[in-house]
């Protein structure tokens, strides 16, 4: 009997030891509004697939604010590696975003403030380090790559439309796609016409997040393009809408002008 008790105690200690080791190798993170698995993975230096595995997530598309996630203790967090800028007279989130190669939304999020908040002279702002392009192998399987592309694209919501623009100060439709995919280490052709001629054709019924969708608008042929988000929606730099926005494919204007889709991941 004493031998059995000793064996049970040893087994319990082993389990507790393994649990303690696993706990020591992970952080606990509470999901915030607007978070995606990809943005969290980038922040903590891991991958979407690893986060899904650690937390038993069957559907990485669905992530509820307030949920607690285990994340690997690998690398430094976004906050730890951020630079600091002391606000000067005339500074705005838009001017600082252009200076540091980020977006107003990212700056606001990094500092726990709203995009419309007024900056105070002397205020210290954390500036996230510019993202380095990823290799596709770092992201995992194709569905995860598509989610990663979608996550990057959403970061530019609200950025103004600017003809020929490829920077954080403004985009045209193909410049937006070119910039988003370059953040993933994927080099696209520069124009929507060239993008349509390349890539792998995808049937509308087989669209996945991250696919490019094309439309005939101001000129014959694929004169406009966006990135499919899933759920029948796409994100694009719209001249009529004034900037980067989300619209449904079923919207009559786009539904009547839909040409097809291409996949680059």
CA distances 17 to 2, 3, 14, 71, Å, are 22, 21, 5, 19
Report d(CA 126, CA 78) in Å as an integer.
Answer: 10
The catalytically annotated residue of 236, 243, 262, 265 is: 236
Q: Is 85 part of the annotated catalytic residue set?
A: no
What is the sign, positive or negative, of the torsion defined by CA atoms of 147, 149, 150, 156? Answer: positive
Candidates 129, 88, 96; CA nearest to 115 is 96
**Residue 236 among the catalytic residues:** yes
DSSP helix/strand/coil, 227: strand
Burial 72-101 (b: 16+ CB within 10 A, else e): beeeeebeeebeebeeeeebebbebbbebe
Separation between Cα atoms, residue 97 and residue 85, nearest integer Å: 11
Catalytic residue among 42, 109, 155, 224: 224
Strand partners, 83: 127
Find the catalytic residue in 69, 127, 134, 173: 173
3 by Cβ neighbours in 10 Å (0-12 / 13-18 / 19+) ranks as exposed
> Cβ distance 80 to 118 under 8 Å?
no
Whose tokens are 């991941």? That residue is 265
Q: What angle do CA 54, 57, 59 make, to 5 degrees?
A: 150
CB neighbours of 197 closer than 8 A, spacing ≥ 6?
Answer: 189
Length of the chain: 265
Give CA–CA dist 103/200, Å, rounded.
Answer: 30
Which amino acids are annotated catalytic? 173, 224, 236
């Amino acid at each position: 009997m004493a031998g059995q008790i000793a064996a049970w105690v040893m087994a319990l200690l082993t389990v507790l030891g393994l649990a303690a080791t696993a706990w020591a190798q992970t952080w606990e993170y509470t999901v915030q509004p607007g978070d995606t698995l990809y943005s969290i993975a980038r922040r903590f230096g891991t991958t979407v697939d690893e986060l899904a595995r650690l937390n038993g997530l069957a559907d990485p598309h669905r992530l509820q604010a307030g949920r607690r996630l285990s994340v690997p203790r690998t690398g430094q967090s976004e906050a730890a590696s951020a630079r600091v800028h002391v606000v000067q007279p005339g500074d705005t989130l838009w001017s600082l975003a252009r200076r540091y190669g980020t977006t107003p939304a990212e700056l606001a999020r990094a500092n726990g403030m709203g995009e419309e908040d007024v900056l105070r002279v002397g205020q210290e702002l954390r500036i996230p380090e510019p993202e380095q392009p990823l290799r596709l192998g770092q992201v995992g399987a194709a569905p995860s790559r598509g989610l990663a592309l979608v996550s990057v694209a959403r970061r530019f919501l609200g950025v103004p439309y600017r003809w020929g623009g490829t920077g954080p100060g403004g985009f045209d439709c193909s410049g937006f796609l070119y910039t988003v995919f370059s953040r993933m280490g994927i080099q696209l052709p520069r124009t929507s016409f060239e993008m349509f001629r390349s890539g792998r054709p995808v049937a509308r019924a087989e669209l996945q997040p991250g696919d490019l969708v094309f439309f005939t608008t101001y000129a014959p042929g694929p004169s406009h393009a966006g990135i499919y988000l899933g759920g029948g929606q796409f994100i694009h730099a719209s001249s009529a809408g004034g900037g980067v926005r989300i619209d449904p494919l079923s919207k009559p204007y786009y539904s009547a002008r839909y040409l097809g889709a291409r996949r680059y991941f």
